Structure 1
Amino acid sequence: MARRPWHRDPDGFEQATRADLQQRRWLRLHVLLLAALTTALCWGVSALLRRAGVESLAWRPLAAVLLTWPLYLGLLWAWGRWLLSRDSADLGDLVDGADLVDGAADLVAAGARAAGRGLPRVPGSAVSEAADDAASGALDALGTLGEADEAVPLLVVVGVALSLAAALGFAVFGLFGVDVLLGVAVELAFASMGGALAWRARREGWLMHALRRTTAPMLGLAGGVAVAGALLHHWLPQARTLPEALRLLLG
């Protein structure tokens, strides 16, 4: 088969790149791992901020989320470059995606139970299903939370739960998506070609693409975290971490 004149066909190059990545890589698994790593980085940033003296729940979670954003953009760049490489096996060739996610979920649940914060087990490899289950569980528990501590008004509990559910929704369905990672990889592929193709295509570049796709979800995530943190700080000023605040709410 004759090689396509990519320098004359930017659209064809983009379609071929997307098709190649979707065929060679387990993109949903990559997105799930990227989300898990970003979440771990956010917890690490929050821990560093606390060691630096930022104790207030009104500011530390929000600052941790905002400081993690550039780290996430860096991860998108590195992950996109690795997806384009052809000299290494894909994770899907080495492990079973469902087994990996189940194992990670078991470890998280075990750690949470050890800390007195039992979590439901995340089913399969569908991130959206995990988000739906988490949001449904939070809403189902509103009545119990409202009765757990009479010092905290029910509306405050509802506000915290809805804010955290909204933040989770923005993160899962906005920040961590296959289209975001795939779009960054395509932009990096165009940049690597250079020459006539890059000039003819007039692409926006990976960073502008990532910012355009993640700015609104990040602002939504930050807003949800900010509202929840402000409510917890006002009504539970003695709490220094989100798990501690939840334990106080549960009595």
Structure 2
Amino acid sequence: MKVLSNWRSVRLWETQVERDLHRDHSLRTHGLLIGTFTLLLMWGVSALQMHLLHVESLAIRYLVTLGVGYVGYLCVLRWWAQRLVERRTEFEPPDADLGIDSTGDQGSATDAADGGSALSDVAGGALDAAGSADEGAIIVVPVLAIFLLCVAVVLGAGSLVLLYFSWDALLAVAIEVAFSYVSARAAVRVAREGWLMAAVRLTWKPLLGAVVCAVALGALIDHFMPQVHSLPEAVRVLTGARKG
């Protein structure tokens, strides 16, 4: 019973920290700024590959861009969360002295992760269906190609919005950083997943959805329109072919 009581005190402490962060900061605005920075970073990486490195394959270019963007996002997320926590010096450690190996759940953050996986699940199902079809039965015409482009862009963009502009990961990382601070000066010995695992747990499904859509889109353009070098150029070619 004592273990349960102590563990409950840790969860109450998390709830209080979450309320304080919501009260003192506009987390939605912080998420918007982090997402904007990440998209600008990805735009720069994509432009670098296209104009300086002369990477012709859109599939490879999109894969590298999303990979670099995600690493940059995690770094900015960690730095940003630490800045939020460092401004609060009055964190009180939870009244607990636990020697158990228990990770627990991250309540509201887990719910956000489940909601953020919807688009990635749809994208994965669409890719499986396309892969199981007979290649000879697929007839690509301009109208169908434009439709597939739009689907991939919408699903991929939606996954990126859920991933980079959500404040749930920022909140989860901030709580983990705050816990590391108080546990360093108090007798709090409870196993935690850490800021990196918390961030990855909340973001890997939207990232997977974005990667699937982006790579599928790039592979489609590379195969049927090898002469184009960007998505806007592909859209212009398809639109011209349809009008013609």
TM-score, normalised to structure 2, is 0.68
Q: TM-score, normalization: structure 1?
A: 0.67
Unaligned 5+ segments in structure 1 are 1-5, 88-150
Q: In the TM superposition, what are the counterparts of 1:115-194 in structure 2 within 5 Å?
A: 152-194=141-183
Say whether residues 1:213 and 2:214 are aligned partners: no
- Give the match's secondary structure for 2:58: coil
Higher RCO (CA-CA < 8 Å; seq separation 6+): 2
1:93-136 Cα distance to aligned partner (Å, 9 max, x none): xxxxxxxxxxxxxxxxxxxxxxxxxxxxxxxxxxxxxxxxxxxx
**For 1:47 and 1:80, how far apart are their aligned partners in 2?**
29
2:218 maps to: 229
Cα deviation for residue 195 of structure 1 reads 3.8
Root mean square deviation of aligned Cα: 2.3
Aligned length: 183
Aligned to 1:103: none
| Maintained 8 Å contact 2:66/2:211 | yes
2:235 aligns with 246
TM-superposed CA distance for 1:213, in Å, is: 1.1
Q: Which secondary structure state, in structure 1, belongs to the residue aligned with residue 17 of structure 2?
A: helix
Distance 2:49 2:181 in 1: 38
Are 1:11 and 2:3 matched, yes or no?
no
Deviates more, 1:239-248 or 1:77-86: 239-248
CA distance in 1, matches of 2:210, 2:186: 37
Stretches of structure 2 lacking an aligned partner (at least 5 in a row): 1-5, 89-139
Distance in 2 of aligned mates of 1:156 and 1:57: 16
Determine if contact 2:183/2:189 at 8 Å carries over to the other structure. no
CA distance in 2, matches of 1:185, 1:73: 12
Q: Percent identity?
A: 39
* Contact 2:31–2:167 under 8 Å retained in 1: yes
Once the two structures are overlaid, the 10-residue window that deviates more, 27-36 or 239-248, is 239-248
Cα distance in 2, alignment partners of residues 59 and 198 from structure 1:
49
| Deviations, residues 43-63 of structure 1 (Å, cap 9, x unaligned) | 111122221231221221122
Amino acid at match of 2:87: R
Equivalent residue letter for 1:162 = V
* Structure 1 pair 36–175 and aligned structure 2 pair: CA distance change class (3 A): closer
Q: Secondary structure at the match of 1:52?
A: coil
Is 1:30 matched with 2:30?
Answer: yes
